[in-house]
Amino acid sequence: MRAHAWQNYRTKDGTTPSAAGVEQLGDMLVVNVAPGCEYFTVRDDAGHSFRCSFCGYGRFDKRSQTMGQVRGQVDLDAALLGRLEEVLRVAAESGEARHV
Ligand code: SF4
Protein backbone atom coordinates (compact mmCIF):
# COMPACT_ATOMS: atom_id res chain seq x y z
CA MET A 1 0.00 0.00 0.00
CA ARG A 2 1.25 3.49 -0.81
CA ALA A 3 2.64 5.78 1.87
CA HIS A 4 0.06 8.18 3.28
CA ALA A 5 0.73 11.90 2.78
CA TRP A 6 0.96 12.52 6.55
CA GLN A 7 4.18 10.51 6.58
CA ASN A 8 5.89 13.50 4.93
CA TYR A 9 4.85 15.75 7.81
CA ARG A 10 7.53 17.03 10.18
CA THR A 11 6.67 18.41 13.58
CA LYS A 12 7.62 21.95 14.60
CA ASP A 13 10.92 20.60 15.92
CA GLY A 14 11.56 18.57 12.74
CA THR A 15 10.60 15.13 14.02
CA THR A 16 9.33 12.44 11.65
CA PRO A 17 6.01 10.73 12.39
CA SER A 18 7.74 7.45 13.26
CA ALA A 19 10.07 9.22 15.72
CA ALA A 20 6.94 10.79 17.20
CA GLY A 21 5.50 7.30 17.76
CA VAL A 22 3.17 7.02 14.77
CA GLU A 23 3.64 4.56 11.92
CA GLN A 24 1.64 3.36 8.95
CA LEU A 25 0.91 -0.32 8.59
CA GLY A 26 -1.13 -0.82 5.43
CA ASP A 27 -4.25 1.30 5.94
CA MET A 28 -3.75 1.34 9.70
CA LEU A 29 -2.14 4.00 11.84
CA VAL A 30 -0.09 2.45 14.67
CA VAL A 31 0.58 4.52 17.79
CA ASN A 32 3.29 3.46 20.19
CA VAL A 33 5.17 6.09 22.16
CA ALA A 34 6.67 3.68 24.67
CA PRO A 35 7.81 0.57 22.80
CA GLY A 36 10.23 -0.56 25.50
CA CYS A 37 8.65 -3.04 27.92
CA GLU A 38 9.77 -3.16 31.55
CA TYR A 39 9.01 -6.90 31.71
CA PHE A 40 11.14 -7.73 28.74
CA THR A 41 14.58 -8.08 30.29
CA VAL A 42 13.72 -8.69 33.95
CA ARG A 43 14.36 -12.23 35.15
CA ASP A 44 13.44 -14.13 38.29
CA ASP A 45 16.03 -15.87 40.48
CA ALA A 46 15.88 -18.96 38.26
CA GLY A 47 16.64 -16.88 35.19
CA HIS A 48 13.16 -17.01 33.66
CA SER A 49 12.09 -13.86 31.86
CA PHE A 50 9.03 -11.95 33.07
CA ARG A 51 8.10 -11.03 29.54
CA CYS A 52 4.93 -12.49 28.03
CA SER A 53 5.78 -15.81 26.42
CA PHE A 54 4.43 -14.89 22.99
CA CYS A 55 6.14 -11.54 22.74
CA GLY A 56 9.17 -10.63 20.65
CA TYR A 57 8.30 -6.97 20.53
CA GLY A 58 9.04 -4.97 23.65
CA ARG A 59 12.80 -4.76 23.71
CA PHE A 60 14.35 -1.43 24.73
CA ASP A 61 16.11 -0.55 21.50
CA LYS A 62 16.71 2.26 19.03
CA ARG A 63 12.96 2.94 18.74
CA SER A 64 12.56 3.53 22.46
CA GLN A 65 15.77 5.59 22.58
CA THR A 66 14.55 7.75 19.69
CA MET A 67 11.46 8.61 21.69
CA GLY A 68 13.47 9.32 24.83
CA GLN A 69 12.04 6.39 26.75
CA VAL A 70 14.12 5.58 29.81
CA ARG A 71 14.01 2.17 31.45
CA GLY A 72 12.38 2.33 34.88
CA GLN A 73 10.88 5.75 34.25
CA VAL A 74 7.15 5.54 33.64
CA ASP A 75 6.36 9.18 32.88
CA LEU A 76 6.85 10.17 29.27
CA ASP A 77 8.46 13.40 28.12
CA ALA A 78 5.82 16.12 27.63
CA ALA A 79 7.50 17.11 24.36
CA LEU A 80 6.93 13.57 23.08
CA LEU A 81 3.21 13.84 23.76
CA GLY A 82 3.12 17.24 22.02
CA ARG A 83 4.74 15.77 18.90
CA LEU A 84 2.32 12.85 19.00
CA GLU A 85 -0.64 15.23 19.08
CA GLU A 86 0.76 17.20 16.13
CA VAL A 87 1.18 14.10 13.98
CA LEU A 88 -2.19 12.60 14.89
CA ARG A 89 -3.95 15.87 14.08
CA VAL A 90 -2.36 15.99 10.60
CA ALA A 91 -3.02 12.28 10.01
CA ALA A 92 -6.66 12.63 11.05
CA GLU A 93 -7.14 15.65 8.79
CA SER A 94 -5.73 13.69 5.83
CA GLY A 95 -8.45 11.06 6.27
CA GLU A 96 -6.22 8.36 4.80
CA ALA A 97 -5.95 5.94 7.70
CA ARG A 98 -8.93 3.58 8.00
CA HIS A 99 -8.27 2.59 11.60
CA VAL A 100 -5.89 3.13 14.53
S1 SF4 B 1 3.19 -8.40 25.37
FE2 SF4 B 1 5.38 -7.96 25.23
S3 SF4 B 1 5.47 -5.71 25.33
FE4 SF4 B 1 3.50 -6.31 26.11
S5 SF4 B 1 3.72 -6.53 28.33
FE6 SF4 B 1 4.08 -8.55 27.42
S7 SF4 B 1 6.28 -8.68 27.13
FE8 SF4 B 1 5.77 -6.53 27.41
Q: What is the dihedral of CA 55, 58, 60, 62, to 10 degrees?
A: 110
pLDDT of 74 reads 86
Q: Which residue owns the Cα nearest ligand 1 atom 6?
A: 52
Question: Is the pLDDT reported for residue 1 higher than 80?
Answer: no
- In tens, the pLDDT along 46-76 reads 999 999 999 888 889 898 888 889 888 888 8
- Could you tell me which residues come within 8 angstroms of residue 11 by beta carbon, excluding any fewer than 6 positions away? 20, 83, 86, 87
54 Cα nearest atom in ligand 1: 1
pLDDT of 29 reads 95
Pocket of ligand 1 (CB under 6 A): 37, 39-40, 51-52, 55, 57-58
Q: Residues 22-32: what's their mean pLDDT? A: 95
Ligand 1 midpoint to CA 17 (Å):
23
Q: What percent of the chain has pLDDT over 70?
A: 100
Ligand 1 midpoint to CA 45 (Å):
20
pTM: 0.83
DSSP string, 53-65: TT------SHHHH
Q: How many CB atoms lie within 10 A of CB 57?
A: 11
